[in-house]
Amino acid sequence: QVQLVESGGGWVQPGGSLRLSCAASGFTFSQYGMIWYRQAPGKERELVASISNTGGSRNYKDSVKGRFTISRDNRKNTVYLQMNSLKPEDTAVYYCKGPFGGWGQGTQVTVSS
């Protein structure tokens, strides 16, 4: 079955960095684009970044542009989200999503002093 497992979240002070990973299995990973979403308490889930199957095309939510970088390693069936210059408003549960399956458990990112 399709499985997406997020990891790499944690607590960091404003201005710090984290790198999230999403390990995929159960489908031909290299054929599909992937997306990172996040959901903060009391807010709707929102798209953060997306990447095409080859990694040649990448798009970002305006508020994270210049701070976050999405990438992928098709040999490892893994998509990454490098997050720099983190702000308290980045605090949320982060999820990865592909064309199959539902939502996983996500990984918690907390940015605070």
Sheet with 34-39, strands from edge to edge, namely 10-12, 107-111, 92-97, 34-39, 46-51, 58-60
Q: What is the pLDDT of residue 111?
A: 98
What's the pLDDT tens digit per position in 11-22?
Answer: 999 999 999 999
Helix (H, G, I), strand (E, B) or coil at 89: helix
Instruction: Residue 7: name the closest of 29, 75, 25, 18 by CA.
Output: 18
Q: How far is CA 99 from CA 26, 39, 40, 68, 96, in A?
A: 11, 19, 23, 22, 11
Residue 50, sorted as left (phi over 0), alpha (psi -120 to 50) or beta, turns out to be beta
Which pLDDT belongs to residue 99?
94
CA–CA separation, 104 vs 67, rounded Å? 25
Mean pLDDT of the chain: 97
Average pLDDT over residues 89-105: 95
**Residues 32-51: tens digit of each pLDDT:** 999 999 999 999 999 999 99
Instruction: Identify any residues that bridge with 73 across adjacent strands, giving them in sequence order.
Output: 78
What pLDDT does residue 22 have?
98
Phi and psi at 29, nearest 5°, equal -55, -45
Instruction: Please tell me the predicted confidence (pLDDT) of residue 12.
Output: 98
